[in-house]
Each structure stands twice: as structure tokens, then as C-alpha cells.
Amino acid sequence: MSQQPGGRQRPGFPARLPSASPVQARKPVAAAPVARAAAPTGVGMDSSAVRMAMVRRLQAQGVAHPAVLAALSAVERHRFVDTALANQAYEDTSLPIGLGQTISKPSVVARMIELICQGPAGVAGRVLEIGTGCGYQAAVLSRVAREVYSIERLRGLHEKARENLRPMRLSNLHLLFGDGMAGFAAGAPYAAIIAAAGGEDLPAAWIDQLAVGGRLVAPAVTAAGRQNLVVVDKTPTGIVRTELETVHFVPLKSGVA
Ligand code: SAH
């Protein structure tokens, strides 16, 4: 297996999934890096005002989960894109991150994380993210979930994410290099799985690695041939699949590169 745990910590067993426990916002682990001196030109002297404006727009669009809003307010999206694009970092748009990939739109990140928070098991257990990319969504996730495993198939992006995330010191976030189509069995079962890349259908490994009470949120092609956001709940009596709105994610690919 090509997957290599990127962090020092290995998952403990068995996974504890207290299904009734409420979602809790993580306290910031360290003081947020001071934006004033370090913000790239184009974001302004202080990125927090423009970030708060982004969060208010997302709220106006219906994002309501307090922990998700707090995480979006805390994570400095401009640090995950090239300096030349930093002035667009708080617009609701996907942006190139290299190797033909994109950072997801903030509204899509918010929507997907809110959906997993609202699942029966919430995010009180482990969460697996497929497609680390630049690491932005992983950082947001790590502020709402207890433990996050994020896997990326492109080594260049896996390393870029590691660099982007290092200053944030998110001790509950584990970056993995490998093919996420196989999930990450060593960390299973997961309270939630979230995919940032879309294939024809959902790999069986993802469903297998979900805990009972767990929720998968991913883009997948529907019968109508469109890519839609799909929610899969693993209930005690079986799998419940719900198709939501049309989305535009980069393709889910197999193997590593
Ligand atoms: N959440 C990311 C989005 C990155 S785009 C962010 O915030 O930046 C989706 C990513 O999924 C790409 O980096 C792509 O390389 C990756 N990807 C596609 N197929 C994959 C697979 N099978 N396993 C792991 N990562 C995959």
C-alpha cells in the first residue's frame, strides 16, 4: 500500500464515536499568526476584516453552524494561495494551486463541513479528507473536528500543504501521501469522510470505512450525468444516499504522482 502516515501519531483503537455528543469548536491551538506584518500586498494591512466580510457573506447565504463559521473566520485563506492571487483569496471562488488543481470555493468548503457536522455522528470522531490540495479545507476541518486525516495523491501538493500548515501547528491534523480512492484503512472507522475531488461514483472503500452513524460528503456523477454533491449516511439499518446541488470539482484520480 502506498499510503504513508504523514504524522507521528497513529490512530488509536477502537475509534470512539460518542454519537450523542455535540459538535465542539476547537479552541485555537496557538495564537493566530499576526496578519498585520506578514499579509501579502493586495490583501491589505490586516486580512481579518476582509475575511470577516467573507464569513458574513457565507452566513447570508445560509451557513449557520457556529463552529464552521468560527473556523472560517480563523483560517487565513490567503496563506494557501500564491502571493499573486492573495487579493482574491476572500472572494467566493476556486483558485489555481498548481499541478492543475484548485483550492475549493469557501462556500463549498463551508457547505461540506456543515453537512458532516450535521450528520448523526457529527465530527466528534475521526474525519478523513480525500484531496488535501493546498491544505485549506484540512485546516478548517481541523478546527471543527476532533481528529483529521487528509490524503493527497500528488506529492508536490502534499508537500505544499505541509509547508502551508506548519506554522498553524494543528496537532490533530495528519497529512498522508497516497491514493485516497482506497481511503485510509488504518484510521477507520470514520465519523465522517469528505472528498474534494469527484469521480464517476463513490469508491466502496469509503463506505466500508465509515462508522455506523457516519456520514460521507462527496461529489459524484448522478444518473443525469451531472456532478452533484452526494451525502451518504451509514445507518444501523443500511446506507442512505441523498443527492444535493450540482458542483464542479476536479477529477478524482487513482494512483499517486
Ligand atoms: N481541499 C483542497 C482541494 C484541493 S482540489 C483545498 O482546500 O485546497 C482536490 C485535490 O484532490 C487535488 O489536490 C487532487 O490532486 C486530489 N485528488 C484527486 N484524486 C485523489 C485521490 N485518489 N487521492 C487523494 N487525492 C486526490
Nearest one of 148, 63, 30, 137 to 94, comparing CA atoms: 137
CB atoms within 10 A of CB 235: 12
CATH of the domain at 110: 3.40.50.150
Q: Would you say residue 69 lies in a domain? A: no
> What residues form DSSP beta bridges with 218?
230
CA distances for 96 relative to 102, 111, 135, angstroms: 4, 20, 13
Measured CA to CA, the distance from residue 144 to residue 116 in angstroms comes to 10
Q: Would you say residue 115 lies in a domain? A: yes
Measured CA to CA, the distance from residue 204 to residue 69 in angstroms comes to 32
Distance 167 CA to ligand 1 centre (A): 21
Q: Do residues 195 and 218 make contact, with C-beta atoms less than 8 angstroms apart?
A: yes
Choice between 8 and 88, residue whose per-residue pLDDT is larger: 88
Q: Would you say residue 238 lies in a domain? A: yes
Q: Is the CB of 137 under 6 A from ligand 1?
A: yes
What is the pLDDT at residue 17? 38
Q: How confident is the model at residue 122 (pLDDT cuts 50, 70, 90)?
A: confident
Q: Would you say residue 203 lies in a domain? A: yes
**Tally of domains within the chain:** 1
Q: Would you say residue 149 lies in a domain? A: yes
Q: Would you say residue 56 lies in a domain? A: no
Q: Would you say residue 74 lies in a domain? A: no
Atom of ligand 1 nearest to the CA of 199: 19
Grid cell 480525500 is found at: 130
Q: Would you say residue 92 lies in a domain? A: no
From the candidates 104, 107, 150, 171, give the one annotated as an active-site residue: 104
The rounded mean pLDDT for the chain is 87
C-alpha cell at 75: 483560517
Residue 207 lies in domain: 105-246
Q: Is the CB of 139 under 6 A from ligand 1?
A: no
